[in-house]
Chains A and B, each alone.
Chain A
Amino acid sequence: MTVQHHHPSYADRAWQGTVVVEENVRVARDTYRIRFTCPEIARRVLPGQFIMMRLAGTNDPLLGRPLALYEVVPDSGGNPQGLDIVYLTVGKMTRRLALLRPTAPLEVWGPLGNGFPPTATEHLVMVAGGIGQTPFLALAREYLGLQTYGDPPRQAPNAGKITLCYGCRSSEYLAGVGDFERIGVEVRLSTDDGSTGHRGLVTDLIRPVVEQSSLACRIVCCGPEPMMEATAKIARELDLRCQVSLERPMVCGIGICFSCVAKIHDASGRWDYRRTCVEGPVFEAEDVEF
C-alpha cells in the first residue's frame, strides 16, 4: 500500500501569477465553470491536484481558495494551455468569483497537492457528493486515454470501465453530468429529494455497482466528510482499495500555515495531524481517521 504522506508534494513545480478570465459561466444552481489560459499550470497539472485562486487587487477577501482542476483546455496542437475550474458558490470569495467577467484578472498559484496516483484499475468507481465530482472528469479522461497530464506527460494505465456515482441535494445542483456521459463514463445519480435518480444517499449506489461488475473495482471518493467516511466503510467491507480527496479549511495551499490538517495514520497505526495541501489532498481511505 502506498503511504503517500511520507512524500510531501511541495510546490516545487508550481507557478504563481496573474491570469485573465476567459469564461465564467453558470453550469448548475450556484455552480460555475471558470476558464483561463495558463500554460505554466495546465501542462503540469495532474488529475486530483488543485489550484489556489485569489481575487486580484483586494484584501477582502484576503486569502486564496483551493479549487480542484476540472479539465485542461488544449491548444490547437492538443497541448494543455488553459484550465477549467468548476466551483460552487459557498462564501464571500466564491460568490465574488462568480461575478467576474471575461478579461478580469485573477491571482493563481499551482498546481498543488499530490493528485491521484496512476494505478492499474479494471473498473474505477468514482463516488462524488455535492461539488465533489470536479476532480473526477480529468481523472476519467486520463484513464480512458483521452488526455495525458503532467510534464513530461505521465502514463496512466487504462481502465476497462468507469462509473460515476454522483449525489446532490436536488437535480438543479447536478453539474457536468453530460461531460462524463460524453466520454463514456457510466453515470448513476442520486438526489436527496428524488428529483433525479435514486432518492437517498449516493453511498447507496456503490454496492450495486460493485456487485454487478465482473471486473476488479477500485474506489475514488470526494465530497462531504460523512459521505467519504461512509464510502470508506463500504470499501472496507467490500475489501476494495479506496482513495479519498479530503477538503479541509485551507489558507496557503503550499504547506506553510499548518491549517488544513487531518488525522492521518502512520505505519504504526497512530494518527498525527498531516497537512492535506502537501501530503494530500488524496489519501488512502484506510489511513484517514474520520
Chain B
Amino acid sequence: MVASGTFGYAREMAGLVDVARLGGILPKTITRDPRAGNAPPRTIETTGGMLNSIGLDNDGIEAFIDRQLPYLAGLGTAIIVSIAGRTQQEFTRLAARLEGIDGVAALELNISCPNVSGGVDFGTNPAMCEKLVADVRRVCSLPVLAKLTPNVTDICAIARAAEAGGADALSLINTCLGMAVDWRRRRPILGNVLGGLSGPAIKPIALRIVYQVFQAVDVPLVGIGGIATIDDVMEFLVAGASAVQIGTANFYNPTVSTQILDALPVALAELDAGCVADVVGTIEGNDEARMTNDE
C-alpha cells in the first residue's frame, strides 16, 4: 500500500505508477471542513529524512466524495480513506458519511498527525483512543485501521486500547515529532515550528514499535516508517507487520512501490516462503531479552 499524505489523491501518480498493482491506496487525510493547511515552509530535508508540517491541507469530506472518490474507485485497487477530526463527533460523522459509499474499502483513523491541534489526543491517551475507535465502529461497518503515533511513552498501551475498541488493524507509525533550526537567524525553519520526521531516518523506531506491538496485540499490523527497499519491507514483515505502506520514498522515487512488488517474490523465496503470511512475525531472538525490553 501507499501511505496517506504521500500519494496525493492518486491522480498525480497514475501516469507514473501502475496503481492497479498496489494492495491499496490511502489518499491524503480528509477532514470534515476544508483546511488550507499550515504556512510554508512546510518541509525541510534532514539527514536521511525530512520534516513536514503540511497541516492536513485538504478540501473537506464533501469535495472528496464528489471529486476524488469516483476516480479512486475506478483504479482497481482498495481505497482506504484516511480521516481525521478534532473531536470524537467529527470522527464519527466522517465515518458515518463514508459508510455505504462505493469504492471505500476501509477507513484509517489518523489519530496521530502531529501538525494539527486537536485530534492527536486520541493517539496518546489510551482511554480516549479506545472510546473513539469503539464509537467509529458503532456508526460504520467498514474495516477500521487505527494509525498510531510513535510520540508516546508506552505504544503498547495505545495499541491494546485501539484493539479493545474494535480496530481491525493498526498502522504503525505516523511521523516522529521533530524540529529544524536556522541558528544564524535564530528561527525555526518550518512555518509551523514543529514537524513530523519521516523517511529512512525513522525506520529503526518504526521497526521497534512494530516488534513491540506484535507481542502486545492480536490484530494485524501495517508497518510504516522509512520503507524504501525490498529489504526494508522484509524487515517489517519478519518483525510482525502483515502489510506495509510506502510513504516518504514515493517523494524521491515515485515508482518505488511497484519496484518493491517486483522484488517481493525473490525475497520471499529466499526465506522459502510461499506468501507474505508465511514470514509475518517470524523473527527469532532471545525471549528473555525481548520481555525485558517490553517492560
Query: Residues of A with Cβ closer than 8 Å to B?
Result: 8, 10-14, 16, 54, 59-64, 107, 109, 248-249, 251-252, 254-259, 261-262, 272-273, 278
Contact = CB atoms under 8 A, between A and B. Distances in A.
Per DSSP, are chain B's interface residues mostly helix, strand or loop, or mixed?
loop
B197 to A, nearest CB: 12
12 contacts: A11-B254, A13-B15, A59-B200, A59-B228, A60-B48, A61-B45, A109-B16, A249-B42, A251-B45, A251-B50, A273-B57, A278-B12
Given A62-B200, A249-B41, A10 B12 contact: yes
B42 A258 contact: yes
Interface string B188-229: 000000000001100000000000000000000000000010
B12 A254 contact: yes
Interface string B234-259: 00000000000000001111110000
Interface string B11-51: 11111100000000000100000001100111111011110
A109 B42 contact: no
A255 to B, nearest CB: 4
B52 interface: yes
Contact of B15 (A10, A54, A248, A251): A10
A141 B234 CA distance: 51
Interface of B: 5-8, 11-16, 28, 36-37, 40-45, 47-50, 52, 54, 57, 199-200, 228, 250-255
A62 B252 contact: yes
B15 A14 contact: yes
A273 B53 CA distance: 14
Contact of B251 (A16, A249, A251): A251
A217 to B, nearest CB: 32
A63 B252 contact: yes
A251 B43 contact: yes
A275 to B, nearest CB: 9
B45 A62 contact: yes
Contact of B6 (A54, A62, A256, A278): A256
Given A62-B252, A64-B252, A252-B254, A261 B45 contact: no
A256 B13 CA distance: 8
A251 B54 CA distance: 12
Please give me the 7 A-B residue pairs with the lowest Cβ-Cβ distance, nearest first.
A12-B15, A255-B12, A256-B8, A259-B43, A252-B251, A259-B42, A258-B54
B12 A261 contact: no
A285 to B, nearest CB: 19
Contacts of B40: 248-249, 259, 261-262, 273
B178 to A, nearest CB: 14
Given A62-B49, A257-B251, A11 B13 contact: yes
A62 B198 CA distance: 11
A174 to B, nearest CB: 28
A16 B8 contact: no
Contacts of A107: 253
B252 A54 contact: yes
A62 B200 CA distance: 9
Given A10-B12, A252-B250, A256-B8, A261 B52 contact: no
Contacts of A12: 14-15
A172 B248 CA distance: 39
A256 B48 contact: no
Contacts of A262: 40
A62 B28 CA distance: 22
A100 to B, nearest CB: 17
A209 to B, nearest CB: 32
Contacts of B199: 59, 62
Contact of B52 (A59, A61, A259): A259
A268 to B, nearest CB: 14
A144 B228 CA distance: 45
Contacts of B254: 11, 16, 109, 252, 254
A258 B57 contact: yes
B184 to A, nearest CB: 14
A16 B16 contact: yes
Contacts of B49: 62
B6 A59 contact: no
Contacts of A259: 40-43, 52, 54
